[in-house]
Structure formats: C-alpha cells, structure tokens
Amino acid sequence: MADVRQIEGEDIPSEDARFGIIASRFNDEIVGKLIDGCVRALKERGVAGRRITVVRVPGAYEIAFAARRMAMSGDYDALIALGAVIRGETPHFDYVAGECARGVSEVSADLDIPIAFGVLTTESDEQAEARAGGAMGNKGSEAALVAIEMINLARELAR
Ligand code: INI
C-alpha cells in the first residue's frame, strides 16, 4: 500500500463548512438524544452554532423530502439524517425504514451532497436507547463525524 495514492477526508471541519440536520419527531425521546449528540460532536470540533441548522419533520418517512429541499437550496455542504424506526411499534416498519434509507440515498446521489445516515432501525426501544447515548454509543455523534469527513473528502475529490 506504500506506493499507492490514498485519499481520505480529514476529521477536522473547515471553518466555512455548513451542516443541515434533518430529524424526525416520531420517537422524540430517542431522536432528541441523537440531535444533542450530533450538535455536541460538531461543536466540540469547532463548528459554530450558526453553521448548523436543524429541521424537524414528523417521521422518518418525511426525512428525504426535507433533505431534498435542503440540498436544492445550496446552503449546506453536508446533511445529517436523524431518526428512530422501531419495529415493535409498527407493522409498516420495513416500509418506513426502507423508504427513508432509499429516499436519503437518492437525494445524496441526485444532488451530489454527502448525507450521513443516523436513522436508527431497531427491534425495540431498548436497542434504540442503547444507540442514543447508551451502551452502543450515540449514532448522532457518529453521523456528525461522518459528515465532517465526507465534506472534506468531497472537496479533495473535486480538486
Ligand atoms: N416514523 C418513525 O420515524 N419511526 C417509527 O418507528 C414510525 N412508526 O413506528 O410507524 C414512524 N412512522 C411514521 C412515518 O414516518 C410517517 O411520519 C407517517 O407514515 C406519515 O407519513
């Protein structure tokens, strides 16, 4: 590997990077923790609050629509999708979770913008809690780091 060219996005955000978070209200207790973890992780790495926008939507199914409008605005360098789809609560879990993921990746590809996917899809409340600041970490914070890295990578690859 020593003789190959490797390109990786840095984990330090550039001062001008702008982040848009789309977060669903369904399972708000969980999603609130994802938002807190995400915003905290961005701020800890030096991102100013004025460079972070949080848009709320009713459920995970609506995330892609808001993400598309935000991407179309040109106001963001990366988006972060946050939500919680819990199987125990819905017979249409697979539709909501599947369409959310499909919609978000379509927006990313169609509008050429990195989108970090921090939407939990779990079997139970307990599994979701564990990933929202519990034993399995905070997927909102992890998504923030992904967004930082992907903005830097996108800039590297655009050169
Ligand atoms: N939305 C979620 O974000 N998580 C869920 O677990 C969920 N369940 O259980 O149904 C859910 N449903 C709502 C859905 O996202 C839409 O808001 C709704 O279908 C209206 O379009």
**How far is ligand 1, taken at its centre, from the CA of residue 140, in Å?**
19
CATH number of 19-157: 3.40.50.960
Contact 111, 71 (CB under 8 A): yes
**pLDDT digits over 27-82, tens only?**
999 999 999 999 999 999 999 999 999 999 999 999 999 999 999 999 999 999 99
Residue 22, token pair as written in the block: 């789309």
**Per-residue b/e over 65-85, b at no fewer than 16 CB within 10 Å?**
ebbbebbeeeebbbbbbbbbb
Please check the confidence at residue 90 and state whether its pLDDT lies above 70: no
Note if the pTM is more than 0.85: yes
Q: What is the mean pLDDT of the chain?
A: 96
Please check the confidence at residue 89 and state whether its pLDDT lies above 80: no
Ligand 1 environment, Cβ below 6 A: 24, 26-27, 58-62, 83-86, 89-90, 96
Positions annotated as catalytic residues are 92
156, 139, 137: which is closest to 21 by C-alpha? 139
How many helices (DSSP H) and strands (DSSP E) are in the chain? 5, 6
**How far is ligand 1, taken at its centre, from the CA of residue 144, in Å?**
23
Per DSSP bridges, beta strands 137-138 and 115-122 are unpaired
Ligand 1, atom 13: closest residue by C-alpha: 59
